């Protein structure tokens, strides 16, 4: 069975099934461009507040919405608690021409769920269904019928695992794809994701199901595709630490082998992202925003894709304020970038 294959999301045809998840604080335009360069077939913005978009569409939120220069296909993810307001926000996306609109029903962060958005929607499946309906309506009227998708969790907690009900309602309301991160809201990002939930959902739905959760290596992706039958895999933290995971996974799925990236190549990739971000936000702001990205790519041992001596590097990287200072940190560590 060919595990690397095209995916149809309603009218949207994608050439492959390796997706970049919406990752808050990381999935900005520059990072998405890097992931597309490295083989991501589809990418999502980080979550965008429907209320912020409605109140000030020309404000800071617009920086989250810009399509990357090499993003042939991308989705905007919205979060909110009011179906009418999320539909209104979706209509305002017309100037950015997203290829899909995703509804966030999985974020476990307190400041999101306390508003009734994110994973809190799984406590109100009927509200989620109405939100999908309103967003589909807005897409037909203003976005040329771009498909509406939903990203959700397994449930609120272990006593309310209701992904099957929520997905059924969302699909009946018009969702063209469901992405499942099989942890509960209560788990946050801890514990182990239960991939059997993905397989179960695949067996229940007629629309494609995308799987995420504990995807860090090409082998993880291949195993998820084989074990669950999902249409696509969605890398999140695994891509933050290693954007090469897309090309590596495609190589494994197509040829049966892949090659780890050299530490220097990983760092050059992050500097490429820094340069792109500096063009948008200015060097000072870009350097501050990129501290977390430099730290992410140096974590873990060599077998996990990390950088030798990463802890010492991070102690210095968190103080870098210019591109030259970042380069000096790696020069002093004997890495010529």
Task: Note the pLDDT tens digit of each residue in 110-148.
Answer: 999 999 999 999 999 999 999 999 999 999 999 999 999
Domain-by-domain residue ranges, the chain?
A: 7-255, 263-332
What are the angstrom distances between the C-alpha of 66 and each of 18, 39, 203, 322?
A: 21, 20, 36, 25
Check residue 161 and report its DSSP letter. Answer: B
Q: What percent of the chain has pLDDT over 90?
A: 77
Percent of the chain at pLDDT > 70 equals 97
Asked if residue 305 has pLDDT above 70, the reply is: no
Strands 209-211 and 177-184: parallel
Computed on alpha carbons and rounded to an integer, the radius of gyration of the chain in Å comes to 19
For residue 86, give Cα distances in angstroms to 90, 169, 174, 256, 288.
6, 17, 15, 43, 31
Q: What is the pLDDT of residue 304?
A: 45
- In contact, 50 and 92? CB cutoff 8 Å: no
Domain 7-255 belongs to what architecture?
Answer: Alpha-Beta Barrel (3.20)
pLDDT of 300:
56
Looking at residue 51, what is its pLDDT? Answer: 97
DSSP conformational letter for 220:
H
Taking residue 189's Cβ as centre, other Cβ atoms within 10 Å add up to: 12
In the prediction, which pLDDT does 303 show? 43
For residue 319, what are the contacts with CB-CB under 8 A and spacing of at least 6? 325
Transcribe 97-153 into DSSP letters: --SEEEEEE----HHHHTTT-GGGGGG-HHHHHHHHHHHHHHHHHHSTT--EEEEEE
With a cut of 90, say whether residue 312 has pLDDT above it.
no
107 has catalytic annotation: yes
Mean pLDDT of 23-29: 91
Given a cut of 60, is residue 302 above it in pLDDT?
no
Mean pLDDT, rounded, for 151-180: 97
Instruction: Tell me the pLDDT band of 309, cut-offs 50, 70 and 90.
Output: confident
195 token code pair: 């991939």
The pLDDT of residue 46 is above 60: yes
CA 143 from centroid of its chain's CA atoms:
21
Among 35, 107, 230, 269, the active-site one is 107
**What integer pLDDT is reported at residue 301 of this predicted model?**
46
154 Cβ contact list (under 8 Å, min separation 6): 161, 163, 180, 181, 182, 183, 184, 194, 197
**Residue 184: HSE in the Cβ half-sphere, 13 Å Cα cutoff:** 11
What would the mean pLDDT of 11-27 be, rounded to a whole number?
Answer: 95
The gap from C-alpha 249 to its chain's centroid, in whole angstroms, comes to 16
pTM beyond 0.85: yes
Q: pLDDT tens digits, residue range 74-122?
A: 999 999 999 999 999 999 999 999 999 999 999 999 999 999 999 999 9
Quick one: tokens of 337?
Answer: 């970038």
What average pLDDT does this structure show over 250-264?
93
- Residue scoring higher pLDDT (177 or 264): 177
Structure token digits, residue 241: 């630490």
Higher pLDDT, 266 or 244: 244
Both structure tokens of 4: 């690397």
Give the C-alpha separation, 169 to 260, whole Å. Answer: 41
**Percent of the chain that is helix, strand, coil (3-state, to 5):** 50, 15, 35
């Amino acid at each position: 069975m060919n595990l690397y294959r095209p995916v149809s999301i309603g009218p949207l045809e994608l050439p492959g099934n390796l997706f970049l998840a919406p990752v808050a604080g990381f999935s900005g335009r520059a990072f998405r461009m890097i992931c597309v360069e490295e083989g991501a077939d589809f990418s999502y913005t980080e979550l965008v507040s429907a209320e912020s978009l409605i109140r000030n569409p020309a404000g800071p939120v617009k920086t989250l919405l810009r399509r990357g220069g090499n993003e042939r296909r991308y989705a905007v993810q919205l979060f909110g608690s009011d179906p009418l307001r999320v539909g209104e926000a979706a209509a305002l996306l017309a100037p950015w021409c997203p290829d899909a609109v995703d509804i966030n029903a999985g974020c476990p962060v307190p400041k999101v769920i306390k508003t009734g958005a994110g994973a809190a929607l799984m406590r109100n499946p009927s509200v989620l269904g109405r939100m999908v309906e309103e967003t589909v309506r807005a897409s037909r009227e203003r976005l040329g019928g771009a498909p509406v998708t939903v990203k959700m969790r397994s449930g609120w907690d272990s006593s309310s695992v209701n992904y099957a009900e929520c997905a059924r309602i969302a699909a009946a309301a018009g969702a063209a794809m469901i992405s499942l991160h099989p942890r509960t809201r209560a788990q946050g990002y801890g514990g182990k994701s239960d991939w059997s939930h993905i397989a179960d959902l695949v067996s229940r739905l007629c629309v494609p199901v995308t799987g995420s959760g504990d995807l860090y290596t090409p082998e993880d992706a291949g195993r998820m595709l084989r074990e669950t039958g999902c249409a696509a895999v969605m890398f999140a933290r695994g891509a933050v630490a290693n954007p090469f995971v897309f090309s590596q996974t495609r190589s494994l799925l197509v040829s049966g082998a892949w090659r780890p990236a050299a530490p220097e190549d990983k760092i050059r990739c992050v500097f490429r992202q820094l340069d792109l971000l500096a063009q948008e936000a200015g060097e000072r702001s870009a350097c501050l925003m990129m501290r977390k990205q430099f730290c992410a790519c140096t974590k873990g041992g060599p077998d996990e894709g990390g950088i030798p001596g990463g802890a010492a590097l991070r102690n210095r990287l968190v103080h870098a304020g210019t591109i030259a200072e970042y380069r000096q940190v790696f020069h002093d560590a004997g890495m010529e970038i």
